[in-house]
Structures are given as C-alpha cells and as structure tokens.
Structure 1
C-alpha cells in the first residue's frame, strides 16, 4: 500500500510512463529469509563480490538508519559539515544521546553558532504522549529536529523482522542495534555526503542537495487523514485494506 501511493511515482513522470512507481516490490526481512531457505542458498559457499550500483556503497550513517536515533545521528553528521565546512567531530560519532532503546531520547546539540534541541522517539504510543505534552504547553516549537519511528527501537523492531519470544525481545533488539553500530564503526565513510556513489548521483543527475530535481525524487508529502479514525483512534472497518470492500490499486508489470 505504501509503494502504490501516488506521491511515489516520480519515476513514472520522468519517463512519461503511466503506472510506473518508484519501487517495484516490497519484501520483509522475514520473507527474504524464507525465500533464501527455499532456494537453499549457502552463504558460506558464495564468493564475495561488490554490490550493484547505484546504492551498493553505503556510509556508516546509512548503516545505522535501522536504529531509533540513527536517521537523526546520520543527518547531524552531514548537517555539521554543510554548516561549518568541517567534518563532524568525535563527539558526534557516536552521538550517544540519541542511541538506545528508550522510547524518548532528547538532547541539545551545538553546530557552529547554533544550539539545536532534538528528540528521537520510537513507538507510536511514545510519539502520541510526546506530542500531547508539548502541544498542551505550547513547547513543541522549541525542537529543531524530531525523529519518529513507529516500531520500538526503530526498524530493528519492525513487524517484518524475525519473530522473537517475549522474554528475549529486548535482548534481541539490543543485539540488532549493537550490530548496526558495530558495522558503522567498521566503516571508513561515516557521513552520507561522503558516499562516492551519492556524490556521483548528484553530479550526474540530481544536481545539488535541495535542488528542484532532488526535492522531486527524494521527498514526499502526506495528507491529514485523521478523519478516517474512530473515537478510539482505530481505523474504521470500511477503510481496512483486508476488508472485502477494499480494492487495491492497479499495478503495472515491468521487465
């Protein structure tokens, strides 16, 4: 349902092809694991090779996106460079205040002459409490950057991840978090703006960050659809994609 959103069809507009979406298919980690098992792929027997371009090369900032606070930390690394002209200092990598499993993490961060108030939130229940509190006392505008991830701990705790029995959930989530940060620490390219493939993409196609073309292809918009929610904030039956009345959008098969 997400990849079929009309806002995610910039590629179709660019190639003047009706029905073309920016993403062909979505697959969860669990589905991918099942597919690998069905194909009897033995990773130990595979030779190492390079990833396909254009997004084969990844920065440390890209690797930590799956953790709550990871998108924020990655953005701060780049923001520091673009504002000061210098690479982010050691206290930015790692940026401990936004790491971990706490549902709400707050910090003040100084970039050049600016001190920004930031918050990283995971779990929509925590997001609702945070918003209700700060909207009530009119303090939401104090924050320069608020990251919200729907799943506890971030994408590492997502519904498509391998299932874990309840007593082990926190332990497994922490292990996943630690794995991504370890991958970041093993990577020489720390910030997204340093990624050579990203630089090439901008040079050859997108132009500059925040250019009209980069805005078109890399940003999206959302509409307030809260009227679809019932009094207890649950989706009403007629809007449920699993209901018999629901008709999925038409898809276009591409080679």
Structure 2
C-alpha cells in the first residue's frame, strides 16, 4: 500500500497561511481573527483544499477552530481578469517599496512550480541536512529530473548513501509507475508526482493561450525555463538555507519535524470517503 508512504507535509499555500496566523501574527501583535489570507495560485484544486475541515491547524493551535489557515483561493487567471476589469494599468502606477511581509523566498521555493522542481529543491535541502554543507553546483542544476519526459529517474549519493528518485507528471503517466512500485518492480526513496502536465506552471488556473486554448509543451517549456532562470538569480538557492525560514524555527517552531512543526505544517492521510 502506498498510503503510509505519502508525504505528510501540507501544501506551501497552507503552510504559509498557518505561519501567517500564528508566528507572523504573534510577532507583529496582530489579532489572527483580523487577518484574511488570500492565495493566488495556478491550481484550481486549491479552492477545495482551503475549504477542507481539517485545514484550520492555526485555529486549533489558537484554541479557536473558526480560524482558517487560508480563507480564500484565487487562480492566476481570476486575478488577471479582476485586474483587467478594474482597468488597472501597472505602467501608470506610482513606484513603491516592496513589502516582504513573510521575508524573502529562495530558488528552491521558486522551482516548486515545475515538474521536477520539488524533487530538485528537496535534494538540495537533503544535502544540507545530511552533510551540513551547501549543495554542490551539480544539484543547483540537476538535469536528470528536469524536462518534460513523462517519467524521469535519477540516483545520487549523499554522504555515502545512495538515493534513488523518480519524477512523474500527468495522472495518466503516474498510474503505470505507481503500479510498478506496488508490484515491487521499481524501488525509489522519493517519488514526485504532479497531476498537471509540466507541473503547477500548467495548472488549471493558469492563463490560457488565446483566452480558452490549451497550453502545449512549447508554452510549458517557456514557463519552466522562466522559473529556472529566476532560481539562478537568487542569492539563496536552498529552501533550508533561507535565513527567514531558519528564523521561524528559531523563534517559534523549534526544529523541522519537531512537535509544533508537525502540528502546524503536517497532516495525515486516510482512505477516501464520499468527499
């Protein structure tokens, strides 16, 4: 059975929402009930996810279960339509200072939107945790997990341990690979599965070519390349090496996979019912 092997980490959207209503609110003396979190995401499934009854970890922590981790989810296409209908022209807006709110991002966080990006970001962090050193240049551009092939496999040795990994995107492609794993014909330490072709860059909430067309691989590759280019320009390339992330653990959470981290940033899985 695959269920015990599913990652318990919640999605980045829910982790951010929980952090805002707990650590951020406390740090800035804000009443969490006055905060309204709105996620802008390429994923239409986030609309259902933010409404799930268990997505109120911050409320349980604060002893008020009416507090939701993320209150609303807008798709990128909905936001673009809203901006258009409001006749907002960015080239006519006055310049202002960037408000970082939760701090800076990292290259590892940026490439989460690509198929293979979660795997690459995780391997960078695994290298840091296992060796105590920053990931080598080969892991900052780990080609075996990049691209648009339906399934990509790789093996990498970190601190004397050989890790076997696989990346798959598209639900039709994922099923055969999962079947092979269940039969015992394929063994991996970590498998990244993204439902949308190309990953989140090809999500159902993304802009559509011509207004209502379907993106092809050429467009997907342009979006993928854009995220990798932005990753290359970041000062911090590994999520675990981000000083702002480290500060949250130092000031609030304690340590990764510690009791409070598990309570707020992780979930559990069960067999699907009628939902």
Q: What does 1:75-90 correspond to in 2, within 5 Å?
A: 75-90=122-137
Equivalent residue number for residue 52 of structure 1 = 100
Q: Tell me the C-alpha RMSD between the 2 structures.
A: 1.7
Give 1:168 shift.
5.5
**Of 66, 79, 82, which residue of structure 2 is paired with 1:19?**
66
Structure 1 stretch displaced more, 212-221 or 38-47: 38-47
> Residue 48 and residue 98 in structure 1: after superposition, are their counterparts in 2 closer, same or farther (change >3 A)?
farther
Give 1:167 shift.
7.8
Give 1:18 shift.
2.6
Structure 1 distance, partners of 2:201, 2:77, is 12
Q: How many residues align?
A: 225
Unaligned runs of 5+ in 2: 1-47
Give 1:58 shift.
0.5
**Of 197, 208, 211, which residue of structure 2 is paired with 1:163?**
208
> Residue 96 and residue 48 in structure 1: after superposition, are their counterparts in 2 closer, same or farther (change >3 A)?
farther
Give 1:76 shift.
0.7
Give 1:220 shift.
1.6
Structure 1 stretch displaced more, 73-82 or 195-204: 195-204
TM-score of the pair, normalised by structure 2: 0.77
Q: What does 1:42-121 correspond to in 2, within 5 Å?
A: 42-46=89-93, 47-54=95-102, 56-121=103-168
TM-score of the pair, normalised by structure 1: 0.83
Give 1:48 shift.
4.9
Deviations 1:113-165 (A, max 9, x none): 011110011111111111112322x134x210001111001000111111126
Structure 1 segments, 4+ long, off by >6 Å, are none
